[in-house]
Amino acid sequence: MFNRLSLSTLVVLITMVISFLLAADAAPAAPKPKPKPAAPKGDITLPQLTKAFAGHCPKKTTGDAITCKDALPYINAAIKKYGLKTKGQKAAYIANMAYEGGYLQYNHNLQNPTQGTRSIMPAVSLRKFVDANKSVQKFWPGFPKNVNDNTIVDVLIKKKADFEPGAWWVTSGPGCAGVAKGLSGSRDSFIAWEKGCIFGGAETINARAAIYTTVFAAI
């Protein structure tokens, strides 16, 4: 009686173990988390932009300020749209924007409301940008009759085109094409571009060049 009971119990246990093992084999494996898609080749990445800004990324998107994370898609889109192909051209765009706009803190000149966008450009320069680019002329139905130079900055900001003028100017602004081709890792190449393209003033060259050097190394 005891032996029969033990044998029956053993058979039941073996059957249960086999059933458990078969069920475990049949159970689908837990899905692996999908890897984050890689940034398109040539795009500036968030770690690169953060390093380029050397701790100056705004903490929050509010008012004129925009975080590096929120700004990044607009920066990459502008780089592609206006054909900034070399590392030096991309660095010049980002460095000038960092210097002029206080590292994405400002979209307007605090003393002159007609001057702005992310590279804090004067109204006359913004008008040159608009006149040269049909893709933004649609913001003014009936262009060019109803363009008010004093409000171009506000229209571009409202239409989320505020990252575009500075990118276009790097290679297409008056006097910029030739010096933009020479932009490299050297400080002198940036100074040549700054003097021939931006005209920011002799007193700002060293500060601008220092930012450019940091940005170039980061990207």
Is residue 38 pLDDT above 70, yes or no?
no
Is residue 162 pLDDT above 90, yes or no?
yes
User: Domain locations in the chain?
Assistant: 46-218
At residue 200, the pLDDT reads 82
28 versus 83: the higher-pLDDT residue is: 83
Cα 9 from Cα 3, distance rounded (Å)? 10
Grade residue 201 by pLDDT with cuts at 50, 70 and 90: confident
The region of weakest confidence among 66-70, 103-107, 144-148 is 144-148
Grade residue 42 by pLDDT with cuts at 50, 70 and 90: confident
Is 107:118 a contact under the CB 8 Å cutoff?
yes
Grade residue 1 by pLDDT with cuts at 50, 70 and 90: very low
Region of residue 17 (left: phi > 0; alpha: psi -120 to 50; beta: else):
alpha
17 versus 60: the higher-pLDDT residue is: 60
Q: What's the CA dihedral at 168, 77, 99, 147 to 10 degrees?
A: 50
Of 1.10.530, 1.10.3470, 3.90.930, 1.20.120, the CATH number of 46-218 is 1.10.530
This prediction has a pTM of: 0.82
The region of weakest confidence among 22-26, 40-44, 117-121, 186-190 is 22-26
The mean pLDDT value for 145-174 works out to 97
Is residue 3 pLDDT above 60, yes or no?
no
Burial of 5 (0-12, 13-18, 19+ CB in 10 A): exposed
At residue 7, the pLDDT reads 59
Average of per-residue pLDDT values in the chain: 90
At residue 37, the pLDDT reads 58
20 versus 47: the higher-pLDDT residue is: 47
Is residue 26 pLDDT above 50, yes or no?
yes
What is the percentage of the chain residues whose pLDDT exceeds 70?
A: 82
Q: What's the CA dihedral at 90, 93, 94, 97 to 10 degrees?
A: -170
